[in-house]
Structure 1
Amino acid sequence: MKQISSRFSIAVHILSLIAVSSKDCTGDFIAGSVNTNPVIIRRIMGMLKKAGLVDVRPGVGGATLLKELDEITLLDVYRAVEVIEEGQLFNFHDEPNPDCPVGRNIEAALRSELDAAQSAMEQRLAQVSLSRLIAQFE
């Protein structure tokens, strides 16, 4: 089963750490907290920067948030780091048998249900700000 990649939870971890840390949040410092390779952190930080969520100071090191904690939702983070083909969270298998009553109808029958599920997930993520999340572990 294919899962949503760990980029999402790592990105939330990065933003939360920047928000609560009194230290300069360098790539190495963040990598130590996430317990992963600094290369992965730099890649995700680049995605967050491109989305306008963080500013990264090269050389000197350190990152800062570009928005207030209550202005950043989990949906913002999800959209910044998840690459979903054509906006579809769920994929369908290729070329089911058109001569089979299930094969020729499964995608049309299932598509609206999966679109609704994706919409529900995105609505839930949009309701949770980074400040609300951080309040749970402070």
Structure 2
Amino acid sequence: MNSEFTIAVHSLALLAYRPDHMATSDMIAHNVCTHPARVRKVMAMLRKQGYVAAKEGIGGGFLLNCNPDEVTLAEMYRLTSMGSVKPGWCSGDEEQDCMIACNMATVMDHIFSGAEKQLIDYFGQWTIRDVLEQVRKEQQSK
């Protein structure tokens, strides 16, 4: 999984926390602890998919453009990280006369696909609102 997933979830939770306020990429980047250019890249994906709206120029920024009760972490994973569970690796040559080398890539592809499906199913149980509520509970317990 890549950090774009975390940035997307964090950014949407931040915007859901302040639904009537615009947030600049600098403000989001400071909150996420990353570079504003990385935030802009993720926000562009979110904007293209309709999760956020943006106003350019002075006084501009990003606004939540979705219902945080309906947006799941599975959606964010699919948008930012689909396929990232499977590592880039090589396992021999299919032309080798070796049962392991000839079949390992296919077997591992099935294993990683199953793991990713379980991850997506789990993330599908969580919404942006759920994340925000968990953050609030953490804050209250301090």
TM category, shorter: 0.7 to 0.9
Q: What's the TM-score, normalizing by structure 1? A: 0.84
Tell me the secondary structure at the aligned position of residue 13 of structure 1: helix
Deviations 1:84-120 (A, max 9, x none): 4xx5741453461322221011123333222211110
Tell me the secondary structure at the aligned position of residue 136 of structure 1: helix
Distance 1:92 1:62 in 2: 36
Say what the alpha-carbon RMSD is for the aligned residues: 1.9
Q: 1:122 aligns with which of 120, 123, 126?
A: 120
User: Which consecutive unaligned segments of at least 5 residues does structure 2 have?
Assistant: 137-142
Matched length:
132
Distance 1:25 1:88 in 2: 29
Identity, % of aligned positions: 30
Amino acid in the other structure paired with 2:133: A
Amino acid in the other structure paired with 2:119: M
User: Which consecutive unaligned segments of at least 5 residues does structure 1 have?
Assistant: none
CA contact (8 A) 1:25 1:62 kept: yes
Distance 1:29 1:79 in 2: 25
Q: 2:23 aligns with which of 22, 25, 31?
A: 25
**Residues 99/91 of structure 1: CA separation in 2 closer, same or farther (3 Å cut):** farther
Distance 2:35 2:88 in 1: 33
Amino acid in the other structure paired with 1:103: A
CA contact (8 A) 1:27 1:61 kept: no
CA contact (8 A) 1:14 1:30 kept: yes
CA contact (8 A) 1:70 1:130 kept: yes
Output aligned runs, 1:1-138, within 5 Å. Answer: 4-21=1-18, 23-59=21-57, 60-82=59-81, 84=82, 87=83, 89-91=85-87, 93-94=89-90, 96-97=92-93, 98-138=96-136
